Amino acid sequence: MFGRLLSRDYPGNGLLTALAGALVVAMVAAPFLGWGPSVLNLLVKVAIYSILVASFDLMLGYTGIISFAHTMFFGLGAYGVAIGSRLLGPGWTSMALGLVSALVLSVALAVLIGLFSMRVRTIFFAMITLAVATVFSVLVTQFHGITGGQDGILFRVPRELTAAFRPFTLFGTQVNGVVLSYFLILFASAILFCAMLRIVNSPFGRVLQAIRENEFRAEALGFSVLSHRLAIGALAAIFACLAGGLNAIWLRFISPDVTLSLQIMLDILLIVVIGGMGTLYGALIGAGLFVIAENYLMQVIQYTADAFGNVPLVSILVQPQRWMFWLGILFVLSVYYFPEGVVGRLRDWTKSRAKLGLDGETQEVSTTITSPDV
């Protein structure tokens, strides 16, 4: 059953499987363990970022396309849910209509961007997407009457997703609308992640990887490079848009800083590099490591500052306000020691061990055959 859900694409390493399994178990059990809202916010961010980063990796890791417009599709999904809920009132229908409208617009923009820029070199395509994302961010800021401008949009969700809705008690925990929205996001994220695994392990996904390795050979074999790039661009936009919609449902608030900022695009790039390009599991592991470090690194530095505050040099470097500096140090170290990402390095380590074991067995058999005692 799990094999079909994961499209026979397993983590490929025992430690990696344990990390992914522990993260999933923690996500499912968190509401029943008495963990506070801050932990639930962290785990929801991991789930949403996993989908957002994995959708970006469909283009970068599996097709070799660098796009800086990914946050635009993320923002479209969020604004679609927010504007639909504000104009039509809180309800499932209004959220669905807003999200569907955002999906249609995302696919149209992705195809248009692809048609105008897919034929140019990779770096020029990246610059074009960056320009489009910048223009979209400016438009969102200018159309204050629709998008709320810099102030954003505060909207209401259906009653079933509010704290006042308390349908039942489970495992001694009162399940309310917030818990239901939490599991709605987890369930939707799991479905989207499995769908992306299905895509990359399908014949279509194999063609994408062939285009990444050598687009001229793929074209010579009869595959349309432009059509496949347009298709994966549209699919990546759909998944990013859905991730944005889930983010809006959880936050109940949306603004350019929450969805369209350059910092989010940089976070996506960092997570892809940390987790590993061309491995969807890298999005899950990378998002978990990055979000946990982002939220708890300041606390760790504070404890260190309290313990070594009397040491002259350490007291200067170890300050909670300098947590971004230490996050950058951790990123540099991860790139240096894990150039293929955490997932790629662990998978290579497993393959090397298996190869050494196979070579050892082959050498033993060869020695036995050539032994004079046989």
pLDDT digits (tens, 9 = 90+) for 254-268: 999 888 888 899 889
Q: Above 50 in pLDDT, residue 131?
A: yes
Helices 70-88 and 225-251 cross at an angle (nearest 10°) of 50
Residues 6+ apart with CB under 8 A from 14: 350
Dihedral-angle region of residue 341 (phi above 0 means left; psi in -120 to 50 means alpha; beta otherwise): left
Confidence class for position 32, pLDDT limits 50, 70, 90 = confident
Is there a contact between 246 and 99 (Cβ–Cβ < 8 Å)? no
Q: Which range (45-49, 83-87, 234-238, 318-322) has the least confidence?
A: 318-322
- Which pair of structure tokens corresponds to residue 84? 């639909």
What pLDDT shows up at residue 294? 80
Is there a contact between 34 and 43 (Cβ–Cβ < 8 Å)? no
Q: Above 50 in pLDDT, residue 269?
A: yes
Q: What is the mean pLDDT of the chain?
A: 85
- Higher pLDDT, residue 84 or 353: 84
pLDDT digits (tens, 9 = 90+) for 210-220: 988 888 888 88
For residue 316, give the H/E element and its range. Answer: helix 312-317
Per cent of the chain over pLDDT 70 is: 90
- Higher pLDDT, residue 107 or 15: 107
Q: Above 80 in pLDDT, residue 373?
A: no
pTM: 0.89
Taking the C-alpha atoms of residue 230 and residue 111, their distance in angstroms, rounded to an integer, is: 6
pLDDT digits (tens, 9 = 90+) for 98-113: 999 999 999 999 999 8
What pLDDT shows up at residue 241? 96
For residue 253, give the H/E element and its range. Answer: strand 253-254
Give the bridge partners for 175, in sequence order.
168
Mean pLDDT is highest, among 127-131, 167-171, 306-310, for 127-131
Q: What is the DSSP code (8-state) at residue 49?
A: H
* Secondary structure class of 42 (helix, strand, coil): helix
Query: Which amino acid is located at 21 in the chain?
Result: G
Q: Domains of the chain: which residue ranges?
A: 2-9+17-278
Q: Read off the pLDDT of each residue in 280-286 and give the average, rounded to a whole number.
A: 91
Q: Above 70 in pLDDT, residue 366?
A: no
Taking the C-alpha atoms of residue 234 and residue 67, their distance in angstroms, rounded to an integer, is: 12
What pLDDT shows up at residue 121? 61
Q: What is the CA radius of gyration of the chain?
A: 23
Q: Above 50 in pLDDT, residue 365?
A: no
